[in-house]
């Protein structure tokens, strides 16, 4: 599973603000890299909350699944 932390670049305060996290359970990522898939999903999910969609960025993190 891939977890994405979604941040917004706040140019007024010169820092990034955490908007939320997204959890992706797909194995194939629809033919895209983890970063491209996460950015597309973040723009669709959080795009309406920010003024500038280009100021969004994601940090992908691989989370191991416990298969016991």
Q: Where are the domains of the chain?
A: 2-62
> Quick one: pLDDT at residue 27?
63
What would the mean pLDDT of 2-9 be, rounded to a whole number?
89
Q: Which two tokens stand for residue 55?
A: 């100021």
Under 8 Å between Cβ of 49 and 41: no
pTM as predicted: 0.74
pLDDT in tens, 14-56: 888 999 998 876 665 667 788 888 888 888 888 888 888 888 9
Question: Half-sphere exposure of 20 toward its Cβ, with a 13 Å CA cutoff?
Answer: 12
pLDDT in tens, 51-67: 888 889 898 887 666 65
> Quick one: pLDDT at residue 6?
92
């Amino acid at each position: 599973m891939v977890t994405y932390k979604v941040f917004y670049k706040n140019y007024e305060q010169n820092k990034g603000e955490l908007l939320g996290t997204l959890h992706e359970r797909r194995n194939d990522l629809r033919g895209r890299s983890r970063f491209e898939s996460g950015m597309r999903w973040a723009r669709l999910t959080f795009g309406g909350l920010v003024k500038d969609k280009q100021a969004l960025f994601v940090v992908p993190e691989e989370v191991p699944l416990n298969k016991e």
